[in-house]
Amino acid sequence: MNQTAVTVWFTGLSCAGKTTLSLAVAEELRSLGYTVEVLDSTIVRQDIGKSLGFSKVDRDENIRRIGFLAHLLTRNGVIVLVSAISPYNQVRAEVRKRIGNFMEVYVNAPLEVCEARDKKGLYQLARAGGIKEFTGIDSPYEAPPHPEVECLTDLETVTESKEKIILKMKNLGYLEPSDRSHINGSFVRI
């Protein structure tokens, strides 16, 4: 398949649904024959960011490292799906400029919804002072001013959000407009 490489950058608070959506999009794209790589910031941090903390400087460096990996993969024809809180607009803009083919997805859920979804208890620990500089509690999250897609994960199903992302990728020319999608169990042309 002839594919156009792009980095799709999923940003939002912890537990907003970034990883869930990136994996759903990856599954759909792979089923259509695309070459896809998922870079989840938690996993990438374990390998190339172990020395980094959670200060603004360290968070920005972590995002730059993930952006560098995404740039290399995109440059080599891969569709890259990045799932990262990436709380600061300036470093996301820097990564966007470096990569070129870039689509930002704001995975938006209210803080109270994210806290309710938190199975690891990180928000609770942060509120108790056990985690310092936790995004959304004592460290800011800067919502993207102009994302290509905004997914309201407290109001939309995973499928609805995934379909918005896939449609935008088609509209921006990153996916073939003739790719078939599943609707009610049958294939239809889009």
Active site amino acids? 86
C-beta atoms surrounding 120 within 10 Å: 9
14 in a labelled binding site: yes
Give the three-state DSSP class for 107. strand
C-beta atoms surrounding 46 within 10 Å: 10
17 in a labelled binding site: yes
12 in a labelled binding site: yes
> Of 60, 38, 148, 50, which is closest to residue 103 (Cα–Cα)?
148
18 in a labelled binding site: yes
151 in a labelled binding site: no
Task: Decide if 150 contacts 170 (C-beta within 8 A).
Answer: no
> Of 101, 104, 113, 94, which is closest to residue 14 (Cα–Cα)?
113
16 in a labelled binding site: yes
Q: What is the four-CA torsion angle of 46, 51, 56, 61, rounded to 10 degrees?
A: -80
Sign of CA dihedral 122, 56, 67, 107: positive
89-99 helix and 56-75 helix, angle to the nearest 10 degrees: 20
Residue type at position 51: S
Annotated binding site for ATP: 12-19
Annotated binding site: 12-19
